[in-house]
Amino acid sequence: MAKQRTPVLKVTKLSKAYGSHAIVSDFNLEVWAGDAIALTGRNGAGKSTILRCLVGADKADSGTIEICGNRLRESDPAVRRDLATVIDDLDFFPDLSVVEHLDLLARAHGLPDAEEAVDDVLHEVQLVAQSGQLPGTLSSGQRRRLALATAFVRPRKLLILDEPEQRLDVEGVEWLAQRLKAEREAGLAIVMASHEPRLVEVVATRTIRVGA
């Protein structure tokens, strides 16, 4: 695949410390369309911290992050349009059903065929039977599927996922691996942290061991 002039994600000298304890120091990364980067490493190595900085949930102490050439500002609509995330801070409306969450996101992103897109994703994440349920009543695995669906139902250029395999059953992990592989092959850039060897093996084009 021919590479674009601007990387989808460019991280330069990213550093983050909690107090005097440095978690990430001078981290550099360039991700192009069609790349899938897997961050691996032990618990506490700094994978989630890097991802939280990449999506703007945490502020890095120093360094720059650019998404499609735009300097990262969490509330910048251009960044929000290009970036889909599934990290640990996703919240749900307690009084909107599963299908209504997806419908709202698809419409907010101006998807012309919102209903069709929602139906497809609902089938894919196997939440059709739960489409009318309120999020509080879903099992933890179903909530994870809904979180993934919120990333798949909307247009995106970069997908950032923090341990997306969490709480998924074996079939779910396999489905996710194939889905992410298809996304990557279609030209989407992916950055994910994972402890699941199968997911890393199928999806990643490059693996970075954090804290090694």
State the residues that interact with other proteins by CB under 8 A.
Answer: 55-57, 59, 64, 71, 73-77, 80-81, 83-85, 87, 89-97, 99-100, 103-105, 107-111, 114-115, 131-137, 150, 154
CB of 170 to other proteins, least distance (A): 27
Question: What's the CA gap between 27 and 111, in Å, rounded?
Answer: 35
Structure tokens at 111: 């998807």
Name the residue nearer to other proteins (CB basis): 24 or 122. 122
Name the residue nearer to other proteins (CB basis): 39 or 55. 55
Question: What's the CA gap between 170 and 96, in Å, rounded?
Answer: 29
CB of 142 to other proteins, least distance (A): 13
CB of 193 to other proteins, least distance (A): 16
Name the residue nearer to other proteins (CB basis): 94 or 170. 94
Helices 98-108 and 140-152 pack at an angle, to 10 degrees, of: 20
Calculate the alpha carbon distances from 211 to 29, 65, 167 in Å.
15, 20, 25
